[in-house]
Amino acid sequence: MAPSAYLMGAVQMTSSADRARNLEVAVRLLEEAADLGARLVALPENFSYMGPEEGRIAGAEPLDGPTLGVLRELARRRGIFIVAGSISEKVDDPRRTANTSALIADDGQIVAAYRKIHLFDVNIPDGARYAESEGVVPGDKVVIAPTPLGRLGLTICYDLRFPELYRKLASLGAEVITIPAAFTLFTGKDHWEVLVRARAIENLAYVIAPAQVGRHSANRQTFGNAMIVDPWGVVLARCPDGEGVCVAPFRRDRLERSRLELPALKHRKL
């Protein structure tokens, strides 16, 4: 029986090419969220590395590698569920990786892994160019994980712009959806909150949206504003600027009341 209420946490980081430092910060913020009572905590996209592409590919790991190993031990020790934002997962092609979000249970087991479907190939008007598909293999599976905390749907960053993925998760029974992100400053200031709240509202689900923030390199700056949003689209918690964590409650009665008062999910016509 899923609990009627528990605390969720969203982590905000400024990851760099320093893997050891990134992991140290991630662990510290996960511990902080656990100290606050959170039972489900999510890290941002690329939490373990944001640096030159050659270093990203060279440092790719399997899911049973050392980075997730540290988080699995922490999850087991603190008795929390961790959404490991995303890591560069080693694949058969040595020139590419998957961009993978793993859900770690409170016993330290990896219970789900989602490979990012929508890859960020965009020329931003501020002059930055992103070509994620040159170094990343796209995923092809929608992932929902039944857990003791409820049904969790996994997505990553640029997925946020594709509502059909979230509607599919809702149709599979998602109650909480995670969107670990490294949203650019240029697009984030206008689109991030609008889209996060929209995905919560249209699918009547809680959304945990951990985020990268600040300057990562000379040409990479992210928007931050990690947040937790309820099924009515209300922002329950938001990280201030800089690295940190915010927490907010999941309340099953709030979820059920929202879906009862506005039964839009039952009114879909395809």
pTM: 0.97
The hierarchical CATH code for the domain 5-266 is: 3.60.110.10
With 70 as the cut, is the pLDDT of residue 83 above it? Answer: yes
Specify whether the CB–CB gap between 211 and 224 falls below 8 A: yes
Q: Which residue has the tokens 């049973």?
A: 64
pLDDT digits (tens, 9 = 90+) for 25-42: 999 999 999 999 999 999
Q: In the annotation, is 116 catalytic?
A: yes
Q: In the annotation, is 157 catalytic?
A: yes
- CA–CA distance, 201 with 197 (Å, rounded to integer): 6
Considering 116, 175, 239, 246, which one is annotated as catalytic?
116
Q: In the annotation, is 141 catalytic?
A: no
With 80 as the cut, is the pLDDT of residue 101 above it? Answer: yes
How many angstroms from the chain centroid is the CA of residue 129?
23
Q: Which residue has the tokens 């240029």?
A: 186
% of the chain beyond a pLDDT of 70 = 99
pLDDT score for 127: 66
With 80 as the cut, is the pLDDT of residue 1 above it? Answer: no
Per domain, the residue ranges of the chain are: 5-266
Considering 61, 157, 239, 243, which one is annotated as catalytic?
157
Number of Cβ within 10 Å of residue 225's Cβ equals 21
Neighbour-count burial for 161-182, b at 16+ CB within 10 Å, e otherwise: eeeebbbebbeeebbbbbbbbb
113: closest CA among 98, 132, 134, 92? 98
Q: Which residue has the tokens 């003791």?
A: 148
